[in-house]
Amino acid sequence: MEKYRILGKKGEGTFSEVLKCQNVRDGTFWAAKKMKQLYKSMDEIHQIREIRVLKQLNGHPNIIFLREIIFDKRTGVLCLIFELMNMNLYEYIRGRQRILPSETVCKFMYQLLKALEYIHRHSFFHRDVKPENILIKDDILKLADFGSCRQTLSKQPYTEYISTRWYRAPECLLTDGFYRQEMDVWSAGCVLFEIITLRPLFPGSNELDQISKIHDILGTPSSITLDKFQHRNAAVDFNFPPRRGTGIARHLTNCSPDAIDLINHLCIYDPDHRISAHHALQHPYFDAIRSLSTIGSNVFQYQTRKYRQPTKPSLKPFLPPVSGASAFSNYPTNNGHAPSMLNKDHNQGKHVLGYYPIMSYRSYKK
């Protein structure tokens, strides 16, 4: 029976907290995402969007790897076990005094676009691409947090809140939920600018200020573009004052022309004219990476050797006998001995905690 020992907290969000844990059998370290909501059954858990999406996307080297699902039936506590990364991209660039080497920026951006291209090719879009949802370990980048992900074939409009404001595309700001995967590409352009300059591209204080910040740099879009948006939002006043815009290049110093050109293509106002993740990967900005083959199959081979389970998982979920509350109810915040996630009570012998290895190991093909 596999067991995990909780070592401490790595972070916390609105719907979950992330704990660092160790597999006591082989000593490997993992990240446990403990959900704050309680659940009644595995049927309910299988309807969670993030789980459904990651089961289909598991296996790509630039998408966070979901190893297993652990569910305590008695307490309703759900934990998702992910590979452990060092930090997110926001933490990586926060407080830096010197800009990143251009090679590092290029390598990170290539991997982010590889993840988006794979997601979009499988008819999903992320909807919340931002530095906090991009994880780093050494020179490997992985896209995480698929809780907002949707299928491209799902019915519009989308009504729930999506995308952090600074990385939100114009179609998300100016329509009543009419957007597609192009919004991820816009967000990726904002991320690229931020990696290069160590500051956000459009740091709006509210939605109106966000639109104003975009117009300050890109200028007011054409009447044709605004008409398309207006047909999908009757509540917004589209009589924006005409602005020429400074252009993105003015805000990028000591930056290659190819990097500037790529950002300009990623951050095109009209989503119908915005470059796709697939075509962005063919941009001259990435010529050196493609010629050296430093990313892609080599990274995938490294990741699969390190993280893929050596044996094929059982087709039946394993339910170890345990008792009492889930070990995630009380975990240590100091360096003391941490409890195991899985405990065994020989007296009761009740199956109250489910251990569910992820069955989908989709082989990634370039």
- Active site amino acids: 128
Amino acid at 298: N
Please tell me whether residue 20 adopts helix, strand or coil conformation.
strand
Q: Any bridge partners for residue 135, and if so which?
A: 88, 142
Task: Give the closest residue to 63 by CA, choosing from 3, 124, 152.
Answer: 124
Task: Give the closest residue to 268 by CA, choosing from 205, 212, 225.
Answer: 225
Burial of 7 (0-12, 13-18, 19+ CB in 10 A): middle
Contacts of 193 (CB under 8 A, 6+ apart): 200, 201, 248, 251, 252, 263, 267
CA distance linking residue 197 with residue 121, whole number of Å = 30
Q: What is the rounded (10 degree) CA torsion for 19, 20, 24, 28?
A: 140
Do residues 341 and 25 touch, judged by C-beta distance below 8 A? no
Which letter, b or e, does each residue of 255-283 get, where b requires 16 or more Cβ atoms within 10 Å of its Cβ?
Answer: beeebbebbebbbbbbbeebbbbeebbeb
